[in-house]
Amino acid sequence: MAPGALLLEAQKEYEKESQKADEYLREIREQQLLPEAVGQCIEAAGYEHEPDTQKSLLRAASFGKCFLDKFPPEGFVRMCQDLRVLNAIRDYQIGIPLTFTQYPPACRGIGAVPGHP
């Protein structure tokens, strides 16, 4: 199982207050794949069209970041901003079914608050 998928399962089990969460997390950490797992969850959220699934993946990434000493927040923050824009233009009132891959790199991060990266 990919580290990101395992992290997603760990986060779901954590919400259920199950001990399986600790087992899954320990497995990822023993293989030293936690940074990769967090990155995979963030990236997967970008390719997902369903906002509930996006939130679940970003929650898993946030959960994994809690166990890392130094994980740069920029990628997570940028993905949240990009998803906010993509979900807004995918809304039925606008109706542009744009994918993350089609979203121009020059536009990424335009949902950012002025004065913040």
Tally the C-alpha atoms within 13 A of residue 55's C-alpha that lie toward its C-beta: 4
Report the C-alpha gap between 109 and 117 in whole angstroms: 8
Q: Inter-axis angle of helices 51-65 and 34-47, to 10 degrees? A: 160
Q: pLDDT by residue (tens digit) across 43-87?
A: 999 999 999 999 999 999 999 999 999 889 999 999 999 999 899
In this prediction, residues 16-39 reach a mean pLDDT of 95
pLDDT mean over 84-101: 85
> For position 107, what pLDDT does the model report?
64
Q: What pLDDT does 50 receive?
A: 94
pLDDT surpasses 60 at 117: no
Query: Confidence class of residue 114 from pLDDT cuts 50, 70 and 90?
Result: very low
Kindly list the domain boundaries of the chain, sorted by start residue: 3-95
